Amino acid sequence: MRTTSITQRLAGLGGAKWDLHLAARERRERGADIIEMTIGEPDVPLPDQLADHAISALRAGRTQYSNGRGEDDLRDALAEAYAQRRGRTFDRDNVLCFPGTQTALYAVMQGVAETGDNVLVGDPLYATYEGVIRSTGADMVPVPLRAEHGFRMQAEDVAERITEKTRAILLNTPHNPTGAILQKQEVEAIAALAVKHDLWLISDEVYEDLVFEGTEFISPLSLPDVADRVIAVASISKSHAAPGLRSGWAIGPKAFMDALLPVSETMLFGNQPFIADMTAAAIREGSPVAAGMAKRYAARAAYLADRLQAETDLRVHRPDAGMFALVDVSPLGMDCDSFAWTLLEQTGVAVMPGSSFGEHMIDWVRIALTIPDDAMAQAVDRISTFAQSVVLDPEPDA
Ligand SMILES: Cc1ncc(COP(=O)(O)O)c(C=O)c1O
């Protein structure tokens, strides 16, 4: 059977990245003592208020067809919230609703790039970005995010990679997997490049509500100079511990949203009104769980960093937001894959090799901060003992 080029462009993406995670799951199901720190799921259940809102909306019959933009009341709620957060005026025409950030990003990418184009994106990167870009026919151009710059994208690195073919820069701030937040002057410098070279700026801000105390998030959506070229995508997946409800959105220029509407309509044939009602209430009421998650994830990151740095040669990159911390395993003379697989074999602790997140993370592993504190302490005991047991090969004779 013949399939189209999109299936070939996306074939193979995704698979091997998850090998270690799947192997750990399989062992756990067979009864092995596994501490899973591979993927990040919120460490709290869906808040009761959200379940109540969704159930009342279901009972009120909010299960009819909606429309391709999303329910007016949700778009109003989002416009109000963004106006307040970004200090600019938005109205419902700036918003399209989607089932999650992922679908929003997919649709937005179809609206900005196609075959022959390039899209710039930071590397390391969230696992699905390459597929989202390649689905359009465009090529992904990785911009290295360097540990010495706190893994924050630098405008010089972006500028070097802009060509006639570049159509868009995909930002992710706060960032997965590094937990880095772009600083104001960095966002401004990248925004200036977008203006100079007439590029779209797409900003994945799904971790905005999981920013740790003492750090500040700044979105390119708050910069008036790029108002006509910034599209932000986000959802309630992280902020409200609701990843399975699939409720997200894109917010940006009205003309872009109008142009994208037929794409959304063709994909979705409208959104789900009961999910929209629940999301509108969630946005207006604010999250009852985000602050607690941010506090716990920050505390676990600090615990991990303090202990591993005191007890081992491992180096921990302290995140500013999100659900993950990165650990540099190169001082042990290992790359990320050999570290992660040997750690799993010998201790049952499962972490993600950095190679799953791009070309530039070969020395790093990603650790999810979403497991309970006692499991975290046990995992750190095991990682620490393992790291201390690794004997570096002696330097070859000169
Ligand atoms: C950076 C990033 N973007 C998007 C998503 C997907 O979010 P959603 O559940 O809203 O589709 C994730 C999920 O982990 C993520 O880490």
The answer to whether position 122 is within a domain reads yes
Task: Locate 221 and state its tokens.
Answer: 């959506």
For residue 136 and ligand 1, the question of a CB distance below 6 A is answered with no
Domain end position, chosen among 228, 253, 285: 285
Q: Do the domain assignments include residue 398?
A: no
What CATH number is attached to the domain comprising 72? 3.40.640.10
Q: Is residue 2 part of a domain?
A: no
The last residue of one of the domains, among 268, 285, 302, is 285
**Distance between Cα 237 and ligand 1 center (Å):** 7
Query: Could you tell me if 336 and 383 lie in one domain?
Result: yes
* 331 CA from centroid of ligand 1 (Å): 31
Look at residue 397 and tell me if it is in a domain.
no
**Number of structural domains found in the chain:** 2
| 243 close to ligand 1 (CB < 6 Angstrom) | yes
Tell me: do 270 and 297 sit in the same domain. no
For the entire predicted model, the pTM comes to 0.96
Q: Is the separation of the CB atoms in 14 and 127 below 8 Å? A: yes
State the residue range of the domain holding 361: 15-44+289-388
Residues 6 or more apart from 83 whose CB is under 8 A from it?
89, 90
Query: Is the distance from the beta carbon of residue 174 to the nearest atom of ligand 1 less than 6 Å?
Result: no
Segments of the chain scoring below 70 in pLDDT: 14, 393-398
Ligand 1 contact via 101 beta carbon (within 6 Å): yes
Please check whether residues 182 and 54 belong to one and the same domain.
yes
**Percentage above 90 pLDDT, the chain:** 91
How remote is the CA of residue 17 from the centroid of ligand 1, in Å?
Answer: 16
* Residue 142 included in any domain: yes
Ligand 1 neighbourhood includes 347 CB (under 6 angstroms): no
Statement to judge: residues 317 and 280 lie in one domain: no
At 253, is the secondary structure helix, strand, or coil? coil
Domain of 370, CATH number, reads 3.90.1150.10
Q: In a mutational test of the pocket of ligand 1, which residue from 238, 249, 251, 268 has the highest number of ligand atoms less than 8 Å from its CB?
A: 238
In a domain, 30, yes or no: yes
- Give the pLDDT of residue 1: 84
Q: Which two three-digit tokens encode residue 354? A: 């950095």
241: left (phi over 0), alpha (psi -120 to 50) or beta: left
Torsions phi, psi for 280 (to 5 deg): -60, -45
Phi, psi of 371 (to 5 degrees): -90, 160
pLDDT of amino acid 398: 45
